[in-house]
Amino acid sequence: MEPYLHGAARDAYDAWLESTVARFIPPLTFPEVRKGAVALSSLYVERREAGRLGPRALEGRGKRAAFATYYAGLHFLVAWHACELLGDAARSEVTRVVDLGCGTGAVGAAAGSACTARILALDRSGWALGEARRTYAAFGLEARTRRASLPAGLPRETGPGDLLAAGWVTNELGDEARTRFLDALFAARRRGARLLLIEPLAGPASPWWKDEAPRFEAEGIAARPLKKSLALPAWIARMDKAAGLSHRPLGARLLVG
């Protein structure tokens, strides 16, 4: 099994994860965070029809702690390995990562570190933006955060040098908003921006994906699954076991390029 990260990236990741866990436990206990992880998993997979996915995901201290320490830890690793698929030449062109629906900043931090780029982060949750600022700082990344609702809040002037990173956010948008969001991302890509879009591997968690697949092809962008068998960080392996969830292999659907 492959190590989850190597060298300086691993040191920075371990320090970030350890300090994030220490901010939540205490005052919370491990069982409270585990309960939050189970509730989030059930929300995204089984209870998504009830709507308002984003706000419901951030309700309650246990869910927030699970989001910041467990899912963020996993999302960082997926985004890091997805960035490897971009290739050295493309990564070296990126000067700014636009972290769309940044949550606690895991995807932007991974892409910003992999590309050595600054960050512009957008989310509609003030709590998430506060967490994201801590995450980018933990990786020594220059970052600006902005409270914004997608797709309306997408920055207009995106193009060459930008990597538009949308991690696990597209499935939270309603049908009309998602169409406008994807239209804007593909238009930015035609202007020369790069795209990293990450969604859950499970079909029911990304119901829109198969309908849009012909468009990916028409836009000439590679849609691929990521499946990596990684030796996971101890905290994540412990939470996986306690919550009855498995991230071996670590998987996601990707649009990269």
Ligand X SMILES: C[S@@+](CC[C@H](N)C(=O)[O-])C[C@H]1O[C@@H](n2cnc3c(N)ncnc32)[C@H](O)[C@@H]1O
Residues at the site binding ligand X, with contacts judged by CB under 6 A: 54, 71-72, 75, 101-104, 106-107, 123-125, 128, 149-150, 167-169, 172-173
Tell me how far CA of residue 196 lies from CA of 68, 96, 152, 190, 213, in angstroms: 21, 13, 19, 14, 15
- The CA distance from 197 to 206, in Å, is 12
Q: Taking Cα atoms as reference points, which of 104, 169, 171, 165 lies closest to residue 139? A: 104
Residue number with CB closer to ligand X (75 or 96): 75
Give the nearest distance from C-beta 140 to ligand X in angstroms.
19
Give the nearest distance from C-beta 89 to ligand X in angstroms.
25
Give the nearest distance from C-beta 164 to ligand X in angstroms.
12
Give the nearest distance from C-beta 217 to ligand X in angstroms.
25
Residue number with CB closer to ligand X (21 or 106): 106
Give the nearest distance from C-beta 185 to ligand X in angstroms.
14
Residue number with CB closer to ligand X (29 or 124): 124
DSSP for 163-182, please give it.
EEEEES-GGGS-HHHHHHHH
Residue number with CB closer to ligand X (54 or 212): 54
- The CA distance from 212 to 9, in Å, is 34
Residue number with CB closer to ligand X (24 or 71): 71
Structure tokens at 54: 């984003």
State the CB neighbour count (10 A cutoff) for residue 11.
11
ω into residue 249 within 30 of 0, thus cis? yes
Contact yes or no for 65/36 (Cβ under 8 A): yes
Give the nearest distance from C-beta 76 to ligand X in angstroms.
8
- The CA distance from 213 to 237, in Å, is 33
Residue number with CB closer to ligand X (168 or 235): 168
